[in-house]
Structure formats: structure tokens, C-alpha cells
A and B are shown apart, each in its own frame.
Chain A
Amino acid sequence: MHADPKGVLTGIHFIDGDHAACEGALAAGCRFVAGYPITPSTEVVERFAARIPLVGGMFIQLEDELASSIAIQGAAWAGKKVMTVTSGPGLSLMMEHVGYAAFTETPCVFVDVQRGGPSTGLPTLPAQADMMQVKWGSHGDYEPIALCPNSPQECFDLMIKAFNLAETYRVPVFFMMDEVVGHMTERVVIPEASQIEVVERKWTTKKPGEYRPYETDESLVPEMVKAGDGYRIHITGLTHDERGYPAMTAPAQDKLVTRLVNKIRANADKIVDIREDGVAGADVVVVSFGMTSRVAGAAVEAARAAGLKVGHLRLVITWPFPAKRIRELAATVKAFVVPELNMGQMALEVERAAAGKVPVLTLPHAGGTVHEPAAILAKIKEAAQ
């Protein structure tokens, strides 16, 4: 279906990534946001708070990130498309509720405008060091989805995709910006509402009495209802059966956790989003994501100008990771180069998929600024030897 025009600010804008992300959420149909102020993400909720009264929806600033990350889930079960917005320290506080969303299959979007860490770290400066936290941060096994925009335009475009994925798979979806992408101002084109495809929640057509909240077909994604519709649902963070009732046995745990990870693993080929540039025939492939992909792009061009056969593979979606594609490339390239604004997180995934067939050269950076293109170029040259 098409976007609700009330939330779509059609036109050409000159705005930063945080503001564009907010417009993306509004266009996607997000009508409930709860948040707690934290640099460098606050502009997202500031704009939402200003825009939402006339769009028709709700913003509430709550007492902390724990409250924000669970209030949105209450709102999701009341029928709304929902989002919360934070940065590293707040994301750490939200982790228990990431698990609650995964286990109760509550569609929701967590925006993380990444800054340097650990702890309070560098509040106003960039990093990409939360990549593994969003994959593994909450206890237990689950499979999240994470998107990495590299421009204000993508903050708009990919945010719509983030909401669509959250609704399609009923998982917590992470929108992994960083301080630079959040505060960079560029041209953002917002199309007509009729040009924006949004995914409606998978509402059940069954009647109360027939409906079981966690019964699934081959899609592995159950149908949803909302509180107040007469279904008298029970939702719990305990291991549960198809009725939603606690079922704390090893077989029930096996059945539920297996389905939850499989609904992403079995659909990974559909979800994976990579952008390849000159990968065929390349000796070296640079694997990058988010802001770093723009710096890496400059380094790749310089390397080509110097006569090297270099490809660029950009992870638009980092989770699920495109392991299959990296495995294929590991059979044809001489080496991978992985620059990232952390001490080597996604590089571990590239190494895992490459499985020792070719070297994976990391280019860690503790954050605070972006890489120098020259540093990435030097690493490409090293890899090409």
C-alpha cells in the first residue's frame, strides 16, 4: 500500500540525516515515538515532537531509555507503527527490551545514532562501534535486522525500508546511523506519498476464538492483533506456546527459538542488501558500511586511478550479514579490506565468511572522526601485493 500523505513532506529539502530519518519514519507511517534525549540523536525526536501534532500521532519524552524502549512496544500492541531513538549509552539500557521485542515478535524500530564509546565516550563525535551490540546485545538467541544509511537521503529512504522490514518479519530493526551521517546536511528528495510503498502490519483475518497469537504458516511470521479488538490475547516474555501462554519446557524453548532465528535465517537472501561496485574481476574488495563507505569510495577510486583492480562492496544491511556473497568472492579475490569506525567488528564477519581462504585486512579506527581516504588507499595497496 502507499504511504499516508499526512506524514509525507513531499519536496526537495536541505536537511541533516537526523531530520531526514524523522521524515522517513513519518512517511513510513510511524505514529508513536517515545524517547529520551541523547546526543547525537536528539534532533530526530525533536523534529518528530514538532511535526506529529498536525500529522496525527504521539510523541512522549519518557524518564529514561528503559521506559522508551518498552513504551513503544505497548504502543505497537495498541496498533501503531513505533520507533525509539538513541545513541550508545541509551542503546545499552534498551537491550533487555530488544530481547522482549524479539521474543514477543513486536514490530519496532530502534534508531542508534552512533558515537564513540565505551561508556559516555565521545558524545558529539562519530563511531560505528555498536554493530556487534545490536547483533548480540540482549541475552539469548535472536536475529535482528540492521540498516546502515550513509547520507541524509538514505536516512529517509532506508527508514521506510526499516519500518517495512519490522512489519514484514515482526522483529526489532536497528537503524544504524552515526554522528556524521546524523549531522551531515545534504539535499533530500521526498517523493509523493503515492510513490512510497509501505508494508501494512500482518493483521489476522481470523475471529476471536480461532486466533492463536503465535501460530504460523510457512512464512514463520505469525499474524497480529491489537489490544481492544476482543481477542483477549496474552503476551509474555516467558517462553510461550502458540496460544501465547507460558510453556517453560525444553521442547517449547526449542520450537520457539528455532522458529524465531529461522524466520530471519531462512529469509536472509531476501533481506540482504548490498551495493557492489566493480567487484567482478577485482583483486581486492573493500567491504564497508555507513559513513565509512563514502570515505572508502574515494579510496577505491584513487586505487583504480593507480591501476589496481579494486571492488567495493557496501553493506546497506549489515544484519543479516551477506555471508553467502562474501564466501563466493573469497574464491575469486586475493584479499578483503575492511575499514570501519571500531576496533574490528564487521571484519570478524568477513573473516568468518571468508573462512581462511583469503586474508582479511582490517583497518580499525577508535572513532572521533572518519578514516583518511589515504589510510584506506594504503591498506588496499598492501592487500593487492
Chain B
Amino acid sequence: MSATELPVCEIENPVMPYLRQERLPHIWCPGCGIGTTVNCFTRALTDSGMDLDRVAIVSGIGCTGRVAGYMNLDSFHTTHGRAIPFATGLRLANPDLAKVVVYSGDGDLSAIGGNHLIHAARRNMDLMVVCVNNFTYGMTGGQVAPTTPIGATQTTMPYGNFENPFNLPFLADACGAVYVARWTVYHVKQLAKAMLEGLKKKGFVFIEAMAPCPTLYSRRNRLGDGVDQLKYYKEKSKVVNGADTKEVGLTFQGDITVGKFVDRDRPTWLEAMNEHYTHHFGDRYTPYGGSHAQD
């Protein structure tokens, strides 16, 4: 067999039906962890049994911001940092949607979009937020992010970062998220399960997915390639479900606490509004929501 006559694979990759195949190949670098999170997301969608015509995905800007563009769902690639408020409008204006997922990076969600993150969590807006945390701004060439651990070198922290990073699960927990989990792209089964739980959960769900950026973060810090980062995740991760989020902050190549940290219930913004207005207006008020609103 010559090099040009590759065997035809009869089995389709199960991820393919979820992707806009005409848009492939994707832009992500070899060893990047974003694609792995997408794989987990497709598994969660399969397992959820949801009508995919009623699942929408919203991204901001950046490498992870490109996820929306590859998913074969109603998908919106919005402005930098504003995926959550766009998704808020989409969610509230069409309660018939089964789920609105926000899929974006750590810089997009916690720096430029940080204000929206905390307020959507406070309101318990019914959104599942997947935050792919690669500790850097990949699309723009590896600048310091609010998640960059102290000591890591970035192009705008050329002598090493001295700024205190966010502990994202603690932030989401403190602001009122009803579901908070962290996994790495080494933990594909657990990450897919968290996404499945997130899809089924009503209210503000925050899932942090630690992912390697071999091209920028790893290279500048001499951490090897994507596989080396997976080895790091494997060796240094400890599963502590229900961990106190105050204690799960990350350090440069230090121990990683993963797990489901928060799973609680409180009314979503829309449920609270409907309940309040029903109480206030009585029969004059028609609860806001579509035909599938109670799904």
C-alpha cells in the first residue's frame, strides 16, 4: 500500500455528528486541551438525551471562544467577555430552549467578563458555564491572565507573574452558583459526567476544565508538551468532592484539587420572578415561560 492509499475507516468518530464538519480542521494547536473538553461535551450531550435543536451554545473571544463555531448547535460567537450577558438574553427571551451553554476561556470569563460572571452567579441565571482554564491568553500570544499562577512566566509578565490569581471555584461558589466543579482534561470521564450533571441542573453551573496550552503557557515555562501537562494533572490531582472551595486555589505546577465542590438548589432568576409576580399580581399575572419551560 502506498502512502497515498490510506485505509478507509468505516466507523465514524462519534464526535462528528456534533461538529460542523465543513468547518474542520479546527484552529487549535497540537496538544491543546480545548478539543478534549469538546469531546467530553459531546459525550454529555449524548448522555443527556436532550433535543439538540433546543440547546444553544454561546462563546466569547479567544481560543476557547471558537468552540461555539464548531458545534452543530444554535451557536453564537459574541464579543470579548460578553458571552454570559448575551446568553442571559437568549435564555430569558426563549424559555423553550432546553439549555443555554456558555463555553469560553479563563481570560474571557474572569477578566474582561468577570463582572458578568459574578452577577449571573448571584442571580442564579439558568446557564451552564464551561470555563476552559489554560492559565493564559492563547489567541493573543500568551499574556498574563487572572488565573496565571504566581511564578509562571508570560509575555506581559516576562520576569514571572507576581499577581495573585483567582481561585475560580471559590469565586463562583461565593457568588451563589448552584453547581461548581473542577476537572482537568486528564479526567475525561469525570469532566463529561460533570457536564452531563450541569446540563441537567437548573440554575448557574460553573465547570472549570484545566487544559494545557503547549504552544504558549507550557513552552514559555519549559513545561514540555501537552502530554507532559497531562502527566502533571495525573500525578498532582486529588479528587475531593465537596471540598471547601476556599482551599482549592492553584499554584504553579502544584497540587490540584479536583471534584464536584458544590451541588445545591435555589430558585433560578426566572423562577424567582414568576413566583414573586404570581404572589404580587395574583391571577392577573401569566407566568413567563414557553411550552417547554418546565422540562
- A: which residues have CB within 8 A of B? 31-32, 34, 53-54, 56-58, 60, 62-64, 66-68, 70-80, 82, 96-97, 100, 226-238, 245-246
**Do A78 and B85 touch (CB < 8 A)?**
no
Q: Determine which residue in A96, A227, A233, A238 has the highest number of CB atoms from chain B within 10 A of its CB, and name it.
A: A227
> For the complex, is B222 an interface residue (Cβ under 8 Å from A)?
no
Q: B residues 19-78 with Cβ under 8 Å of A?
A: 20, 22-23, 53-54, 56, 58, 68-69, 72-78
CB < 8 Å: which of A60, A96, A100 contacts B92? Answer: A60
> For the complex, is B182 an interface residue (Cβ under 8 Å from A)?
no
User: How many positions in chain B have a CB within 8 Å of any CB in the partner chain?
Assistant: 42
**Do B77 and A235 touch (CB < 8 A)?**
yes
**Do A67 and B85 touch (CB < 8 A)?**
yes
**Do A80 and B69 touch (CB < 8 A)?**
no
The 30 sampled A-B contact pairs (Cβ below 8 Å) are: A53-B277, A54-B284, A54-B285, A56-B288, A58-B92, A58-B93, A58-B288, A60-B88, A63-B115, A63-B116, A63-B119, A67-B88, A70-B79, A70-B89, A71-B85, A71-B92, A74-B76, A74-B91, A74-B93, A75-B89, A75-B92, A78-B90, A78-B91, A78-B92, A80-B93, A227-B74, A227-B94, A233-B74, A234-B75, A237-B79
**Do B23 and A71 touch (CB < 8 A)?**
no
**Do A79 and B77 touch (CB < 8 A)?**
no
Residue in chain A with minimal CB distance to B66? A246
CB < 8 Å: which of B68, B85, B86, B94 contacts A228? Answer: B94
Given the interface contacts A75-B93, A227-B56, does A234 sit within 8 Å of B68 by beta carbon? yes
**Do A64 and B86 touch (CB < 8 A)?**
no
Could you list 4 further interchain pairs (A-B, Cβ under 8 angstroms) beyond the known A73-B86, A100-B79, A234-B20? A63-B119, A80-B93, A96-B79, A246-B69
> For the complex, is B82 an interface residue (Cβ under 8 Å from A)?
yes
> For the complex, is B262 an interface residue (Cβ under 8 Å from A)?
no
For the complex, give the distance between the alpha carbons of A242 and B81 in Å.
Answer: 26
For the complex, give the distance between the alpha carbons of A103 and B72 in Å.
Answer: 22
For the complex, give the distance between the alpha carbons of A228 and B93 in Å.
Answer: 11
Q: Is the interface of B mostly helix, strand, loop or mixed?
A: helix
**Do A228 and B74 touch (CB < 8 A)?**
yes
Given the interface contacts A67-B82, A230-B53, A234-B20, does A74 sit within 8 Å of B87 by beta carbon? yes
> For the complex, is B286 an interface residue (Cβ under 8 Å from A)?
yes
- Which residues of the partner chain A approach B159 to less than 8 Å between Cβ atoms? none
**Do B96 and A228 touch (CB < 8 A)?**
yes
Residue in chain A with minimal CB distance to B68? A234
> For the complex, is B97 an interface residue (Cβ under 8 Å from A)?
yes
- Which residues of the partner chain A approach B22 to less than 8 Å between Cβ atoms? 245
**Do B86 and A71 touch (CB < 8 A)?**
yes
**Do B90 and A75 touch (CB < 8 A)?**
yes
**Do B56 and A100 touch (CB < 8 A)?**
no
- Which residues of the partner chain A approach B20 to less than 8 Å between Cβ atoms? 234, 245
- Which residues of the partner chain B approach A97 to less than 8 Å between Cβ atoms? 79, 82
Given the interface contacts A97-B82, A237-B78, does A34 sit within 8 Å of B89 by beta carbon? yes
- Which residues of the partner chain A approach B285 to less than 8 Å between Cβ atoms? 53-54
Q: Determine which residue in B88, B97, B281 has the highest number of CB atoms from chain A within 10 A of its CB, and name it.
A: B88
**Do A232 and B72 touch (CB < 8 A)?**
yes
**Do A232 and B88 touch (CB < 8 A)?**
no
Q: B residues 240-295 with Cβ under 8 Å of A?
A: 269, 277, 281, 284-286, 288
- Which residues of the partner chain B approach A76 to less than 8 Å between Cβ atoms? 89, 93
**Do B78 and A32 touch (CB < 8 A)?**
no
- Which residues of the partner chain B approach A54 to less than 8 Å between Cβ atoms? 281, 284-285
Distance between B138 CB and nearest chain A CB, rounded to angstroms: 17
For the complex, give the distance between the alpha carbons of A357 and B97 in Å.
Answer: 59
**Do B116 and A67 touch (CB < 8 A)?**
yes
Distance between B111 CB and nearest chain A CB, rounded to angstroms: 13
Distance between A53 CB and nearest chain B CB, rounded to angstroms: 5
- Which residues of the partner chain A approach B53 to less than 8 Å between Cβ atoms? 228-230, 232
- Which residues of the partner chain A approach B96 to less than 8 Å between Cβ atoms? 228
